[in-house]
């Protein structure tokens, strides 16, 4: 399940900090807690897989200022949300519709509309583009103690970890390992980004264009829940390159004018 969430800003010019994923994470959890407190409590358990991800926060127009920790946005704002769990989708979307006023990093927005999007029938061989960068980490010894180490597409371990991560998610979602399990990823373009995910805690991740081939079940898990690690912090969401967005249902802000349509 994948959604496009459009927001109308209170001001004509508004700030968007570069390190903003944790604000969106907070929004997701608050809206889920509003409509399904039990689910919210389960998702706060660090040992429970989250099975959702979201894109970076985007604006119709933007302007960059040198030396600032934010860019200026103009016009509308939007982001994408995706999950493989219907209960999570229902709780988050219902929470947004019940409380359409949104405050993020001191800026105020009003929910304009939510669009439920059709998913591609086939993913293997398609060119995929990140909507939020892919983070892949491992543990390596440093001065005798294991430390988190961020992997890059130049590391063979990067691809092995991606596959292992997808298999774990697939098995947790379905209760059984994938029948095929084949997975291959070829990078077309990769660009590193460094994000502050918590005060003083940084994550290196990769904006990528790539082709993934293999088991459709594995690829769909990556498409719906995110590729790589830390998906619930806003990493690993992708879209199919060049695919026209097909809308299957739209909710207007405040729960008005529900309609169904296809592109």
Q: Which residues have a catalytic role annotated?
A: 29, 44
105 class by beta-carbon count within 10 Å (0-12 exposed, 13-18 middle, 19+ buried): middle
Integer Cα distance of 152 and 190 in angstroms = 9
Integer Cα distance of 59 and 6 in angstroms = 10
Token pair in block for residue 15: 């700030």
Q: Answer whether 162's CB lies under 8 Å from 185's CB.
A: yes
What are 95's strand-pairing partners?
none
Integer Cα distance of 67 and 163 in angstroms = 38
Token pair in block for residue 53: 């991800």
Q: Answer whether 57's CB lies under 8 Å from 131's CB.
A: no
Integer Cα distance of 32 and 41 in angstroms = 10
The number of C-alpha atoms within 13 Å of 189 and in the hemisphere containing its C-beta is 8
Integer Cα distance of 100 and 111 in angstroms = 5
Determine if residue 120 is left, alpha or beta; phi over 0 gives left, psi from -120 to 50 gives alpha, anything else beta.
beta
Q: What is the CA radius of gyration of the chain?
A: 18
Q: Which stretch of DSSP H or E encloses residue 41?
A: helix 37-43
């Amino acid at each position: 399940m994948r959604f496009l969430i459009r927001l109308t800003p209170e001001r004509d010019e508004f700030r968007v900090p570069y390190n903003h994923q944790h604000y969106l994470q907070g929004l997701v959890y608050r809206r889920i807690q509003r409509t399904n407190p039990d689910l919210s409590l389960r998702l706060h358990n660090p040992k429970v897989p989250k099975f959702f991800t979201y894109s970076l926060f985007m604006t119709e127009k933007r302007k960059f200022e040198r030396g600032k920790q934010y860019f200026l946005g103009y016009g509308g704002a939007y982001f994408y949300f995706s999950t493989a769990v219907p209960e999570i989708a229902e709780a988050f979307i219902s929470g947004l519709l019940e409380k359409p006023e949104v405050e993020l990093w001191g800026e105020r927005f009003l929910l304009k509309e939510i669009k439920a999007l059709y998913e591609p029938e086939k993913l293997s061989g398609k060119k995929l583009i990140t909507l939020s960068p892919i983070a892949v980490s491992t543990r390596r010894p440093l001065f005798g103690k294991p430390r988190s180490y961020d992997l890059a597409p130049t590391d063979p371990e990067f691809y092995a970890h991606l596959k292992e991560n997808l298999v774990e998610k697939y098995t947790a979602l379905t209760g059984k390992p994938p029948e095929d399990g084949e997975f291959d990823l070829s990078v077309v373009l990769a660009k590193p980004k460094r994000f502050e995910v918590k005060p003083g805690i940084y994550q290196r991740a990769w904006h990528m264009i790539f082709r993934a081939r293999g088991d459709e079940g594995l690829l769909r898990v990556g498409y719906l829940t995110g590729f790589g690690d830390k998906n619930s912090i806003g990493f690993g969401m992708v879209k199919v390159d060049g695919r026209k967005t097909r809308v299957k249902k739209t909710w207007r802000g405040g729960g008005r004018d529900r309609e169904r349509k296809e592109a």
